[in-house]
Amino acid sequence: MSKKKQKTFRPKARLPRGFGDVNAHEVRTMAAMIKTIGEVYELYGFEPLETPALEFAECLGKFLPDADRPNEGVFALQDDDEQWMSLRYDLTAPTARFVAENYDALAKPFRRYQTGTVWRNEKPGPGRFRQFVQFDADTIGSAEMAADAELAMMWSDVMEKLDIARGDYVIRMNNRKILDGVLDKINLLGDDEASAATRLTVMRAMDKLDRLGSDGVRLLLGEGRKDESGDYTKGAQLDAASIDKVIAFVEAGKDTNKATLTALAELIAGSEIGEAGIAELAEIDVLTSAAGYAEDRICFDPSIVRGLGYYSGPVMEAELTFEIKDEKGNLVRFGSVGGGGRYDGLVARFKGIEIPATGISIGVSRLYAALDKLGKHKAASVRAPVIITVMDKSERATYQQMAMDLRQAGIRAEVYMGSSGMKAQVKYADKRGAPLVVIQGEDERANDEITIKDLVVGSKASKDITDNEEWRTSQVAQITIKSADLVSKIQEILAKPHHQH
RNA sequence: GCAGUUAUAGCUCAGUUGGUUAGAGCGCCUGGUUGUGGACCAGGAGGUCGCAGGUUCGAGACCCGCUAACUGUACCA
């Protein structure tokens, strides 16, 4: 052996980008959110379903891993028998698989809700992760607009149950058939490849109205647009008349849903598919209006596009409309926190027969981030445990009994599990945010007493004490009680206002 | 994917036209205080200056390549 020290390999402790740890506060608030959303879904009659994280790649849809880039878009791996499996990238595709697999046994329409983690192998950004949580509800096997209307209203209920005030959010709704109507009017509904490609470009451009404004969209519909970094995006090369039509369409939103429908009807008059879409939205409007859900909650917005893949009828998006400032004072808008719509073709991939379906997907992770910045999380705070210090290790059983007594009364309590001295123990309690510290050393034990130190009161008192001698010897915010009174005394102290949240 | 910017301690960042042992604040640890959080005081740990090459007597700084992160943009079931 050489005398040189072998350099031991130490991996850098780090996480792949787009993945994040979830701390105690986040776990609790996220769980509370999920509970709230689930309760609303249950109220509407939806049933829970869980499916696995991995599915056969071919079941999830068009993102089949190929030999060159097996993990583009999805995380995929090969089973023993070389079949490709993928981590699910949404909850809709697994649901379609489930329905196709169990179709005969299900009560139709099948109404289920599901929450879970999904994974996407793509570039992360602010508010965008490679692993995140969604919470979906779908009605499968109904072509009725009532199903879409119900989801929009339920979504609105969810937002308000999460303490997002009416006006701070809005469910925006459009219809893919109306979008097709516009494309129809500018002669882009052809089956040829060129039309299909231009269609995509046009829809992408329309979807960017909120971010780029109508001037930016105009550029994307025409020649192309150069962004501030100098990168150039080629446009759809439409002629001026067509551009005007598309712009008029995306800006056709009015103050009331009825007025929007009227405006849209004029713009796409003569297109069969477009008129069908307007009829669908009109039907939804009747139902939502009758239930009292006005434009301040569910708003028809012609600029909503929502993905390019499978939607076939109404599409919707939940948007947070308030703005707040970040640490640097910049205005931050959260924007979309979920999407949904009708996808009549999805189950047909498996069954051959078309089964109409509609659903919504709430982006729990994004919504969480937004509510966190708003300070709107409820039920998030759990009181830290009372810490019982270990003054004499030989008395551990006694301290343990104190903790058990407190727990019996429903009070979080823990005996200090480390081996440091008292100073470190109180410091530990402080760092944990403990409300109280329980102390029983030799002196107390001799008199069958226990000392309770109130860390909240002590913290306030420390501001007026600059002398350490005084701080130490005055034993600030401490009381000594009879051992038998431990639980009742602590209950009494914790009921005081300064220990309430 | 494309473009721009950046990379120095756990965090936020200094580091002069290239010059000796690379700094500060905050945080962390220890002691002042063997039975007490904060404040204060004293001390301490922590860096292959992203990686690899080159220019130079000499590189944290200059040049080339790579990597990563950030921002914008594209894509987004």
d(C-alpha A92, C-alpha A98), whole Å: 10
Name the pairing type of β-strands A413-415 and A436-439. Answer: unpaired
> What is the per-residue pLDDT for A20?
82
> What is the per-residue pLDDT for A9?
60
Note the CA–C1' distance, A25 to B34, in angstroms: 37
CATH class of residue range A16-143+344-382: alpha beta
> What is the per-residue pLDDT for A308?
67
Q: Which regions in chain A score pLDDT beneath 70?
A: 1-11, 62-72, 228-230, 308, 324-332, 373-380
Q: Could you check whether A16-143+344-382 and A165-306 share the same CATH topology? A: yes
pLDDT tens readout for residues A229-261 = 667 788 889 999 999 999 999 999 999 999 999
d(C-alpha A405, C-alpha A413), whole Å: 9
Residues with Cβ within 8 Å of residue A449, at least 6 apart in sequence: A440, A480, A481, A482, A483
Straight-line distance from the first to the last Cα atom of chain A, in angstroms, rounded to the nearest whole number: 62
Note the CA–C1' distance, A25 to B32, in angstroms: 37
> What is the per-residue pLDDT for A331?
64
C1' of nucleotide B37: residue with nearest CA: A427
Q: What's the gap between Cα A305 and its chain centre?
A: 20
d(C-alpha A220, C-alpha A399), whole Å: 71
> What is the per-residue pLDDT for A75?
86
Note the CA–C1' distance, A390 to B34, in angstroms: 15
CATH of domain A386-499: 3.40.50.800
> What is the per-residue pLDDT for A3?
29
Mutual angle of helices A193-207 and A209-221, in 10-degree steps: 140
Domain boundaries, given as residue ranges, for chain A:
16-143+344-382, 165-306, 386-499
d(C-alpha A49, C-alpha A175), whole Å: 28
* Contact predicate A173/A313, CB 8 Å: no
Start-end of H helices in A433-485:
442-446, 455-462, 468-473
Start-end of H helices in A222-330:
240-250, 257-267, 272-290
> What is the per-residue pLDDT for A4?
33
> What is the per-residue pLDDT for A495?
95
- Say which CATH topology domain A165-306 has: BirA Bifunctional Protein; domain 2 (3.30.930)
* Contact predicate A173/A316, CB 8 Å: yes
Enumerate the nucleotides of strand B whose atoms come under 7 Å of any protein CB: 1-4, 30, 32-40, 68-77
> What is the per-residue pLDDT for A15?
79
Note the CA–C1' distance, A155 to B69, in angstroms: 37
